[in-house]
Amino acid sequence: MKSRVAHPSWIEVDLGQFRKNIGLVREHIGKALYCLPVKANAYGHGLKEIGREAEAAGVDYLGVAHLQEGIELRDAGVKIPILVLGAIHEDQVDELIEHRLEFSISSKMKADFVARRCQGKCRVHLEVDTGMHRTGVRSSTAIELMRHLRDLKVFDVVGIYSHFATSGDAFSQKQMESFQTLLEEPIFKEQQLIRHIANSSGIMHFRELDMVRPSLITFGYGQLGVAPCFTLKSKVSYFKVVEKGEGISYGHTYVTKKKTRIVTVPIGYGDGYRRALSNRGHVLIRGKRYPIAGTICMDQFMVDVGDDAIFVGDEVVLIGKQVSEEILLTEIAELCQTIPYEILCQFNSRLPRVYL
Ligand SMILES: *Cc1c(COP(=O)(O)O)cnc(C)c1O
């Protein structure tokens, strides 16, 4: 599925690598069901394409944050179960059912409004808060809510789940234990529920329950031999020679130390390439690292290439590999004082996704 790139900057997604990652995670999780959360445009990789590819590669479930993401996947022809992880609103119930989306029930109030609107059966997962304190019913009231769901008849409770607040430490151990203690209650053992809690970090630290929800590692960030399938690219759009002592870009925060060549790269914070990388980040051109010179503008920024012969049209790699050099996602995230997740999801629709 190669498409021609007319836009000066784009994201390449290597679907072959994505499939390899799925295979590696699959091997690790054994018999557990594989739910791939694809929220936030599949961590920036493209919701529809990743959803379809994951389905084709044998992933069992997709996870989304909101109704709209689930509808997009159904419209893209995805048939496997989709679980809406985020809390739902009353006015979404009809569409959730219409699009065969499974969703989370995390309070009696939500159960009641669903029951009022739902004709037929709704497939739901009971969400339990074991320490994240975001959404989910407290463990202590989970039994009561489960009874209530059974009484209401419209619910087909297919799963029960929780979510870790931390990564492989004593607290996540505590969460795991309190979840397992709850699961020992007869009401949760009487019927076969899909029990799930682990995200990417969770699958590295805990034995699988019935299902896992590892996303970041499926996109290639983590252990198990996975590799990223995401490369951010652009092409040099302009070139000039600048004398010693000249300021570059808004505010002249970069001043040339000698006569040098400055090239322009047509991507900026308007695409999601963070301004925090001004004078700090690097890019790859012709297999070599060069520093960003001056502040990043909305649509472009400059790079100091010294005396090197770089030409208009040369490919620029901003995240990913070029020849034997690599700019890691973690390097960009650290420079921006954030986590890799945030960097991946912030690239917007101005950047076309190209699938290899
Ligand atoms: C996003 C999300 C995940 C996936 O987390 P990773 O750290 O990317 O594996 C799992 N579960 C829930 C509820 C999520 O919101």
Q: Is 31 exposed, middle or buried (0-12, 13-18, 19+ CB in 10 A)?
A: exposed
CA 198 to ligand 1 centroid distance, Å: 8
Global confidence as pTM: 0.95
Is 355 catalytic? The answer is no
Instruction: Tell me the pLDDT of the chain (356 aa) as tens digits.
Output: 445 557 899 999 999 999 999 999 999 999 999 999 999 999 999 999 999 999 999 999 999 999 999 999 999 999 999 999 999 999 999 999 999 999 999 999 999 999 999 888 999 999 999 999 999 999 999 999 999 999 998 999 999 999 999 998 999 999 999 999 999 999 999 989 999 999 999 999 998 899 999 999 999 999 999 999 999 999 999 999 999 999 999 999 999 999 999 999 999 999 999 999 999 999 999 999 999 999 999 999 999 999 999 999 999 999 999 999 999 999 999 999 999 999 999 999 999 999 99
Is the distance from the beta carbon of residue 200 to the nearest atom of ligand 1 less than 6 Å? Answer: yes
The values of phi and psi at residue 153, to 5°, are: 70, -40
C-beta of 162 in contact with ligand 1 (< 6 A): no
Which tokens hold the place of 58?
């044998």
Q: Which residue is catalytic, options 153, 240, 250, 258?
A: 250
| CA of residue 90 to ligand 1 center, whole Å | 24
